[in-house]
Amino acid sequence: MIRFGPSGNSESFYNEGYTSTLQAPGWLSEKGLNAYEYSFGRGVNLSRETAEKLGAAMQEKGIALSVHAPYYINLANPDPQKREASLGYILESARRARWMGADRVVVHVGAPMKLERETAMENCRGGLLSAQKMLDENGLADIHLCPETMGKKGQMGDLEETLQFCLSEERFIPCLDFAHIHALHQGRLNKTADFEEVLDISEGILGRERMQQMHVHFSTIEYAAAGEKRHRTFAESEYGPRFHHLAPLLKARDYTPRIICECKGTMAEDAHEMKKIWESME
């Protein structure tokens, strides 16, 4: 089952008088959305009580949950203490994912700093495997880590690197952020054939079965020479990429991804727009 939902709460959620994410499940359900990503981007500070309440409300409405680990994780860092801290952030994100009934933890693997990229790659790969081992040892083996494709040249995790990370552990699910791919390559995704190339490359490395269940981040994006600059909205027609180029490929390949919208401030509305595009093909 393909699912659509936002990363966090739209501006309209708060404009309508809602004040707590605990109120989001009903709001999302009314809009016909069935996925939600809770972000720990700036820190893992959600209590168990709140996590369990949120998870129960989301489950009641049939909304699948994922979480996003802190943005400042860097598994490439050669400093063992800082690498250990990054592993701890992933573990704490996964622990809260379990409390709320989420089954996926999206991870930014980090930046090479002054390391050779090959060395940084090995550090990141080893770090992800160490993180999985920690999850296994803490009763969280069924929580999927989702390495994300990144949008800046100074970050680890272009498409091929992300797929290689996933190749190292069969439980890893790739998070393809199509806005990041678009930005990193200076506007790569402008037509259906461009998306087809990305999916062909991905299937060539991971196989169709792995890719059918991929995690997706989608938004329009503004970029500069170094890549990602900022996420934009679907209403801003000058920015890409556009979901109507990807949707027919998902249908033709029988993909059932979870699609999370990261548009700036309009993530629920634009997630609903993607859902409408999808339903128009059925």
List pLDDT tens digits, range 11-26: 999 999 999 999 999 9
Q: Count how many domains the chain has.
A: 1
The pLDDT of residue 189? 98
Question: What average pLDDT does this structure show over 30-34?
Answer: 97
Q: Categorize the per-residue pLDDT at 239 as very low, low, confident or very high, splitting at 50, 70 and 90.
A: very high
Where residue 41 sits, what CATH number does that domain have?
Answer: 3.20.20.150
Q: Are the CB atoms for 232 and 222 separated by under 8 Å? A: yes
- Is the per-residue pLDDT at 282 higher than 80? no
Question: What average pLDDT does this structure show over 248-269?
Answer: 98
Range of the domain at 249: 3-279
Task: Give the up-direction half-sphere exposure of residue 235: CA atoms within 13 A in the CB hemisphere.
Answer: 5
Question: What average pLDDT does this structure show over 50-61?
Answer: 98
The pLDDT of residue 168? 97
The pLDDT of residue 273? 98
Nearest 10 degrees: Cα torsion 130, 123, 148, 209: -70
User: ω into residue 25 within 30 of 0, thus cis?
Assistant: no
* Average pLDDT over all residues of the chain: 97
* Full strand arrangement of the beta sheet holding 35-39: 35-39, 64-68, 104-107, 144-147
Q: Categorize the per-residue pLDDT at 261 as very low, low, confident or very high, splitting at 50, 70 and 90.
A: very high
- Is the per-residue pLDDT at 269 higher than 80? yes
Question: What average pLDDT does this structure show over 18-45?
Answer: 97
Q: What is the pLDDT of residues 146-178, one digit of tens each?
A: 999 999 999 999 999 999 999 999 999 999 999
Give the residue among 258, 272, 280, 273 at the shortest CA–CA distance from 32.
Answer: 272
Q: What's the pTM value of the predicted model, to 2 decimals? A: 0.97
Nearest 10 degrees: Cα torsion 190, 192, 198, 200: -160
